[in-house]
Amino acid sequence: MNQDFSIVTLLMNASWVVQLVVLILFLVSITSWSAIFKKIFSLKKIKALNEEFEREFWSGKSLNELFGAASQNARTAGPMERIFASGMREYQKLRERRITDPSVLVDAANRAMRASLQREMDDIESSLSWLASVGSVSPYVGLFGTVWGIMHAFTGLAALQQVTLAKVAPGIAEALVATAIGLFAAIPAVLAFNRFARDIDRISIRMETFMEEFSNILQRNVGSLTQSPH
């Protein structure tokens, strides 16, 4: 007699523990894919905003003009523009206190930008930990379902006098589905995590490079911000 070994049939006949494990993995997979697509669009937007601000920064506008625009566009600005604004804000606060020491001014601006960079990176890296957890834990959750399913299958066979492959195969197949779904949830999460981590490293390096260049500009133009420093 031919038996139906489709995944749906196997899951319908599986024990409630295996069914629960598969349901959890299915929900985790959906959440993981949602996080992946959100992060794809988020990183794409961040790159576009950073590139747009860099073009503005090197277009010849004064720092005061750029700071005014950044202050007005605080909600829609990209990470690099917000980092620039935090440095300029601290710089101008000290200038208003009649502080003219270049090292004090630039160091204060750098500290403000570093704090802003950390906040931006925390925001950019959000959901990466979730993808890492999905990638590392899902196979073990699936394996737990498989082990439980096999135990359940062999326990049911203990009462039989004659055990054939036809009687053993369905129970084992049901259990192995849990491992397969665990891998289905884990593999995309791991691949996405590695890709996003690489992209975020590049964004971080680019923003740190910008901070160094901006600090050099401030160093060269201490006392002339009311004019046109760069």
The pLDDT tens digits for 7-24 are 667 667 777 888 888 899
Domain residue ranges of the chain, discontinuous segments joined by +:
7-220
* Cα torsion 143, 146, 150, 155: sign: positive
In terms of C-beta density within 10 A (0-12 exposed, 13-18 middle, 19 or more buried), how is residue 202 classed?
exposed
The chain-wide mean pLDDT, for the chain, equals 86
Measured distance CA(25)–CA(168) in Å, rounded: 25
| 218 neighbors 91 (Cβ within 8 angstroms) | yes
Q: pTM here?
A: 0.81
Alpha-carbon distance of 50 to 53, in angstroms, equals 5
CB 119 within 8 A of CB 108: no
Angle between helices 128-157 and 165-220 (to 10 degrees): 170
Q: For the segment 149-208, what is each residue's pLDDT rounded down to a tens digit?
A: 888 777 766 666 665 656 666 667 777 888 889 999 999 999 999 999 999 999 999 999
Q: Which long-range contacts (CB under 8 A, 24 or more apart) does 49-55 make?
A: 49/77, 49/78, 49/79, 49/80, 49/81, 50/78, 50/79, 50/80, 50/81, 50/203, 50/206, 50/207, 52/78, 53/77, 53/78, 53/80, 53/81, 53/84, 54/80, 54/210
Q: pLDDT exceeding 70 applies to what percent of the chain? A: 83
